[in-house]
């Protein structure tokens, strides 16, 4: 296939017949975030490369292997964001949010870019829902964002997703842990991959997150961080668990979770599903008390998570979670001839102003072709307008689902005709001698699974 009609490897279109599912997920996550006091922040898709080197960490897989970086025409080295935290943190400092009442709670829906091997649940352009809470060291906040993520899954009807938590300590206790890791991995140094040989001196904890089979095999028996926590970190971790229990949120402590980004301290967590194959981590996050300082700000303990939206969708589809139906046109006006077309334009304008979706054929085709088109579009009702109907002011309204046809005055559709609103006229309409709730038939607000 010609290059120009082929999407870049690892990218995916969302087509019109699918997009309502994405919109449903997006609306749900923003709604949940709002209930926890998180407001949306929108940051640029690219940033200075240095921000990610500093923020994400230059010994991470993301920075060492996965970033889309390039020089722009002005000679700046810029990078398409591989994650959302660094940009949000940069904005928190630059915009002065850091001087407002803390904590500042922000959330985002963003695209992210990583040069990885595409496979199920792993793309080069993917999307994240993320939250960041800047300016609190309280374990209440750790439990709160975990609760938020859990609430997203609950609201979307996702099941069988397990929460694993760990604490990876603070710089104080991590020093001891690094020493122990260095000792352990030094004995197997020759077997480590080249990247990890280098990490052994610079950041041995990163070896625990290496995806190479041999490194992960060696890492199996490595010392675990929980054995090295200082008193403060231990206490913090216990408090987080206390608050999770208070909300009846089930979890397991998995001392092997270290997360792939350098900025994490203390609490780290993942929501993992077994139903979507090897890429089972749908949401990952934790505390990053040192990040804001690392970027030049004041000491600002903070935390957040990123949830992969493609993996979430995959999970929901695999589990057969219910999605709302794609919206259908309320009324399709089949118009035959110029007069009828003008009338259709007039009716559609009023219908739309009243909140209904109303369409007519732009290609002025035959009756048959227009009915077929209305059917393809899944219109709920059609009316057929010819010269006669326009002159007499009466047309046949057809319920496309039942096939039932009713004569109806065209004036019914025109707002202000009886000096009452169109919705009221439609609600009052009598069809086949019975009071007919036209409004509710046409209405939006269909529930999930209907
Ligand atoms: P993984 O271990 O799967 O590579 P990660 O630790 O690199 O994940 P994070 O940086 O924590 O992932 O990103 C948060 C979430 O974003 C992940 O849990 C996942 O759901 C999603 N995600 C990360 N990378 C990709 C990708 N290449 N394609 C699709 N989703 C992704
Ligand atoms: Mg990764």
Which pLDDT score, from 0 to 100, does residue 262 have?
A: 74
Range 95-110 average pLDDT? 98
Index of the ligand 1 atom closest to the CA of residue 61: 7
Q: Tell me: pLDDT of 165 over 50.
A: yes
Mean pLDDT across 265-287? 95
- Residue 265 above 80 pLDDT? yes
Q: For residues 270 and 264, what is the distance between their CA atoms, to the nearest angstrom?
A: 13
pLDDT band at 22 (very low <50, low <70, confident <90, very high): very high
Q: Does any ligand 1 atom lie closer than 6 A to the CB of residue 262?
A: no
By mean pLDDT, which of 158-167, 203-212, 304-313 is the weakest?
203-212
How far, in Å, are 7, 63, 151, 197 from residue 202 at the CA level? 38, 14, 38, 9
pLDDT of residue 49: 98
Question: 442 φ, ψ to 5°?
Answer: -75, -15
CA 33 / ligand 1 centre spacing (Å): 20
pLDDT score recorded for residue 386: 96
Q: Using CA positions, which residue lies closest to atom 25 of ligand 1? A: 122
- 409 CA from centroid of ligand 2 (Å): 62
Higher pLDDT, 370 or 443: 370
Contact between 312 and 154 under an 8 Å Cβ cutoff? The reply is no
The whole-number pLDDT of residue 426 equals: 62
Most confident listed range (122-136, 206-220, 346-360): 122-136
Please tell me the number of the ligand nearest to residue 119's CA. Answer: 1
For the Cβ of 236 lying below 6 angstroms from any atom of ligand 1, the answer is no
Please compute the mean of the pLDDT values over residues 329-353 and round it to a whole number: 94
Q: In the block, which residue shows the tokens 């038939």?
A: 441
Q: What is the mean pLDDT of residues 98-120?
A: 97
**If we measure between CA atoms, which residue out of 163, 161, 176, 165 comes closest to residue 139?**
165
Q: Is the CB of 309 under 6 A from ligand 1?
A: no
Q: Is the bond into 448 cis (omega within 30 degrees of 0)?
A: no
Atom of ligand 1 nearest to the CA of 82: 10
62 CA to middle of ligand 2, Å? 7
CA-based nearest residue to 223, from 183, 271, 173: 183
pTM over 0.85: yes
Q: What is the pLDDT of residue 250?
A: 98
Q: In what order do the strands lie in the sheet with 331-335?
A: 358-360, 331-335, 381-385, 394-399, 405-409
* 434 confidence band (pLDDT: 50, 70, 90): very low
> Which among 126, 163, 287 is the best mutation to test ligand 1's pocket, defined by most ligand atoms within 8 Å of the CB?
126
């Amino acid at each position: 296939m010609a290059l120009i009609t082929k999407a870049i490897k690892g990218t995916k279109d969302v087509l019109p017949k699918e997009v309502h599912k994405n919109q449903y997920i997006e609306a749900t996550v923003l709604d949940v975030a709002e209930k926890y006091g998180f407001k949306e922040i929108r940051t640029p898709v690219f940033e200075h490369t240095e921000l990610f080197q500093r923020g994400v960490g230059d010994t991470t897989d993301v920075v060492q292997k996965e970033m889309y970086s390039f020089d722009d025409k002005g000679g700046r080295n810029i990078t398409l964001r591989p994650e959302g935290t660094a940009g949000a943190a940069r904005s928190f400092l630059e915009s002065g949010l850091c001087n407002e009442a803390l904590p500042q709670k922000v959330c985002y829906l963003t695209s992210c870019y990583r040069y990885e091997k595409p496979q199920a649940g792993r793309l080069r352009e993917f999307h994240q829902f993320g939250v960041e809470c800047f300016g609190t060291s309280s374990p209440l906040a750790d439990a709160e964002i975990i609760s938020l993520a859990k609430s997203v899954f609950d609201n979307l009807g996702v099941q069988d997703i397990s929460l694993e938590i760990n604490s990876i300590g603070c710089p104080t206790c991590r020093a001891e842990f690094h020493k122990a890791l260095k000792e352990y991995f030094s004995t197997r140094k020759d077997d480590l991959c080249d990247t990890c040989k280098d990490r052994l001196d610079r950041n041995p904890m990163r070896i625990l997150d290496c995806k190479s089979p041999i490194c992960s095999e060696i890492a199996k028996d490595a010392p675990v961080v929980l054995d090295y926590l200082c008193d403060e970190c231990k206490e913090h971790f216990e408090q987080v668990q206390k608050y999770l229990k208070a909300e009846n949120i089930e979890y397991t402590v998995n001392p092997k979770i270290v997360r792939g980004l350098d900025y994490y301290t203390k609490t780290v967590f993942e929501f993992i599903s077994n139903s979507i194959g090897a890429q089972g981590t749908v949401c990952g996050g934790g505390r990053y008390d040192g990040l804001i300082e690392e970027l030049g700000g004041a000491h600002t303990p903070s935390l957040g998570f990123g949830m992969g939206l493609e993996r979430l969708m995959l999970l929901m589809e695999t589990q057969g979670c219910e999605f709302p139906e794609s919206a259908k046109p309320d009324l399709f006006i089949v118009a035959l001839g110029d007069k009828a077309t003008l009338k259709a334009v007039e009716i559609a304008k009023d219908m739309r102003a009243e909140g209904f979706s109303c369409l007519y054929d732009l290609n002025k085709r035959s009756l048959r072709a227009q009915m077929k088109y209305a059917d393809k579009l899944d219109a709920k009702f059609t009316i057929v307008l010819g010269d006669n109907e326009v002159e007499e002011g009466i047309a046949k309204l057809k319920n496309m689902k039942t096939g039932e046809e009713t004569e109806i005055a065209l004036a019914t559709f025109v707002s202000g005709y009886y000096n009452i609103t169109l919705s009221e006229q439609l609600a009052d309409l009598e069809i086949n001698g019975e009071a007919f709730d036209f409004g509710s038939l046409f209405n939006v607000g269909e529930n999930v699974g209907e």
